[in-house]
Amino acid sequence: MPDAFRLLIADESDTVTEMLSWLFGSEGFEPETAADGMAALRSVFSRNPDLVLMAARLPRLDGIQACRLLKSDSGTRDIPVILITSGDGGAESLFAARAGADRCLARDASPVEALAAARECLEGRTPRPEEILPAGRSTPGDLELLARVNAVLDAALSEATLASEIDRVGRDVDDFESAARALFRVLRTIAPASAMGVVFSDGVCTEGVSVFPDGSGDPFREKVREKTLRLRAAAGVTFSPGRETWVEIPGGLGVRDFDSPDVLASTASCSVRAGDLVKGILAVYSAPEEATAAGAALTEPLLRQAFTVLESAWLYRQIARVSVTDGLTGLANVRQFREHMQREHSRARRHGEPYAVLMMDIDHFKKINDVYGHPAGDTVLREIAGIVRDTVRSTDFPARYGGEEFIVFLPQTRLPEAALVGERIREAVERFVFAAPSPMIRCTVSVGIADYLPGGEGTERDVIGRADQALYAAKHAGRNQVKCDPARETGA
């Protein structure tokens, strides 16, 4: 080697240190030795070696603890550390890796293996300057070194405890929104936090989530969303504008004095990848005066773990949604609608409440597919689903019934009110210009409506059947119109 690398060898066996000193010295290294962990640390902090070769088991302070301290100190963390383990595998090698060791070397390794490990650690490096301690600064003594080791261990124990709390949320809470609230509370115990933003993506669907104190105003919530979307863009999360949703979740916590968008600062964030796909991000926001301290406490490993726990709950909910959701339109599928109708029919009979069912069919839909192609037809279906979703009330239940048919359950609604809803949908579709790959696509819908009145006979299937008959009447009468159940229209 053109310049000699300085090597610290730490082992309680004089035979081992002498043999390794001769081996590395004959290969151009400048070896130094230490007989215990405390002496090794003093040598590193005073002499700044290029490489540390240290036994995992040492008197006074073992090599694993010494390695953990070296890797936590900004001045020494880039010094490669090779830990010599007993060679029987198991916990010792695991603890050595967790302590930050760059390599593990079995005690019975050959000289060739030892030299290869050292050269691999030093590849691309140049010898470090020998440390000259600043004036007034002395090599740390045993008490100071022990205090620093204990501080590192305390920090590791704290992080392990917090990681356990995050894992516990994943074990104990399977509902997505409850898991988000629980994680927000755990993160707030680690550092002051005023809001949390998360984005998930599976490559097809993207969902953003914000968690904030109860009663937070619209400007504050909008600021959380805006900041999270910026982080999403910076991280390169894949998303499709047509398949993007956002959920706002009150965190179950009181509003703090700084619940204002003007004092919301980014505190800590992480992005999580799976190969080339950025699966999402998690960000925590605090007040500006608390952001630095909070960012130091909310380490990236903790944030990644929190993201993984919440992602599991999100994926579980996605699977549940897929089983009851129409993949093209995002509306409920026919299976979910029938189950919902069965429950609501029983409730309406028990409480003596009316309800209505609206069935809708796209006029001449086959012609759209034949002339413009099935992709254009899919676009029409998606956008009509959006019109229906935007037109009905939040308490109503729209679904894709099959093919080009849609159906809506309207609770506590009689025939005249349901007819008004049907007419609003019909007019909205008639006016709409569909975003399909052609100069212009317009289409119309036919609507049939039936209702159930308190004390009425029959099942929910009978009500759906009467709505279907009304839809047929609308088609037979010329399409693009609303027809009510013929048996009820005059007497409603």
Residue 256 backbone dihedrals phi, psi, to 5 degrees: -90, 165
Instruction: Assess whether 250 and 317 both reside in one domain.
Output: yes
> Alpha-carbon distance 88 to 90, whole Å?
7
> Alpha-carbon distance 91 to 59, whole Å?
19
Structure tokens, 381: 């279906």
pTM (two decimals): 0.54
Task: Kindly state whether residue 169 falls inside one of the protein's structural domains.
Answer: no
Q: Does 122 have pLDDT greater than 70?
A: yes
pLDDT higher at 187 or 121? 121
Quickly state the pLDDT bin for 435 (edges 50, 70, 90): confident
Q: Which of 91, 124, 140 is the last residue of a domain?
A: 140
Instruction: Assess whether 485 and 339 both reside in one domain.
Output: yes
Task: Kindly state whether residue 168 falls inside one of the protein's structural domains.
Answer: no
Instruction: Assess whether 320 and 338 both reside in one domain.
Output: no
Task: Kindly state whether residue 163 falls inside one of the protein's structural domains.
Answer: no
Positive/negative CA dihedral, 31, 118, 101, 296: positive
Instruction: Assess whether 471 and 342 both reside in one domain.
Output: yes
The domain that holds 78 is classified in CATH as 3.40.50.2300
Instruction: Assess whether 240 and 120 both reside in one domain.
Output: no
Task: Kindly state whether residue 145 falls inside one of the protein's structural domains.
Answer: no
Q: Model confidence over 313-327: pLDDT tens digits?
A: 888 887 777 778 888
The domain that holds 358 is classified in CATH as 3.30.70.270
Task: Kindly state whether residue 183 falls inside one of the protein's structural domains.
Answer: yes
Positive/negative CA dihedral, 84, 90, 92, 95: positive
Q: Which residue has the tokens 């005249």?
A: 416
Instruction: Assess whether 296 and 339 both reside in one domain.
Output: no
What is the domain extent for residue 116?
A: 6-140
Q: Which of 324, 352, 380 is the last residue of a domain?
A: 324
Instruction: Assess whether 298 and 184 both reside in one domain.
Output: yes
Task: Kindly state whether residue 159 falls inside one of the protein's structural domains.
Answer: no
Cα–Cα separations (whole angstroms), residue 92 to 20, 71, 84: 22, 17, 10
CB count within 10 Å of CB 455 equals 7
Instruction: Assess whether 113 and 253 both reside in one domain.
Output: no
Q: Model confidence over 410-426: pLDDT tens digits?
A: 999 999 999 999 999 99
Q: Quick one: average pLDDT of 224-249? A: 84
Q: Which residue has the tokens 């500006």?
A: 288
Quickly state the pLDDT bin for 1 (edges 50, 70, 90): very low
- Of the segments 215-229, 283-297, 397-411, which one has the largest average pLDDT value? 397-411
Instruction: Assess whether 339 and 475 both reside in one domain.
Output: yes
Q: Model confidence over 340-388: pLDDT tens digits?
A: 999 999 999 999 999 999 999 999 999 988 888 888 899 899 999 999 9
The domain that holds 279 is classified in CATH as 3.30.450
Number of C-alpha atoms within 13 angstroms, CB side, residue 167?
7
Task: Kindly state whether residue 166 falls inside one of the protein's structural domains.
Answer: no
pLDDT, residue 437, reads: 61
Contact 246, 222 (CB under 8 A): no
Q: Which residues pair with 274 in a beta bridge?
A: 277
Contact 252, 185 (CB under 8 A): yes
Domain count within the chain = 3
Task: Kindly state whether residue 329 falls inside one of the protein's structural domains.
Answer: no
Instruction: Assess whether 345 and 476 both reside in one domain.
Output: yes
Q: In what order do the strands lie in the sheet with 397-402?
A: 397-402, 405-411, 355-362, 445-452, 482-484
Instruction: Assess whether 286 and 397 both reside in one domain.
Output: no
User: Closest Cα partner for 159 from 191, 196, 199, 181?
Assistant: 191
Instruction: Assess whether 25 and 64 both reside in one domain.
Output: yes
